[in-house]
């Protein structure tokens, strides 16, 4: 019997953080947060979520902030 088991990324979700300033260039409303889950699958059917990669990018200065670098202001805007 052959089992096909592995991991693969899920669908990316984006959210624009309005009224939130970039910590680097201080431009308002330029941050976009991208979330992408990573699934373990069996026969190409997702079984369990392994992790959820999350980062924010500023469209003005192109700086990328990983989840560990999110400011409290960014976290509040994300939870709304």
H helical segments located in 1-80: 72-79
What is the arithmetic mean of pLDDT over 29-42? 93
pTM above 0.85, yes or no: no
Percent of the chain with pLDDT over 90: 71
What is the structure's pLDDT at 55? 95
| Domain count within the chain | 1
pLDDT confidence tier of residue 4, bands split at 50, 70 and 90: confident
79 beta partners: none
Expressed as residue numbers, the domain containing 15 is 5-79
Q: Rounded to an integer, what distance in angstroms lies between the CA atom of residue 60 and that of residue 18? A: 14
**Alpha carbon distance 30, 60 (integer Å):** 6
């Amino acid at each position: 019997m052959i089992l096909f088991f592995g991991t693969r990324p899920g669908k990316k979700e984006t959210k624009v953080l309005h009224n939130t300033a970039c910590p680097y260039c201080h431009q308002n409303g330029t941050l976009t947060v991208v979330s992408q889950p990573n699934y373990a699958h069996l026969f190409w059917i997702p079984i369990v979520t392994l992790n959820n990669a999350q980062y924010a990018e500023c469209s003005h200065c192109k700086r990328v902030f990983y989840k560990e670098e999110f400011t409290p202001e960014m976290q509040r805007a994300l939870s709304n």
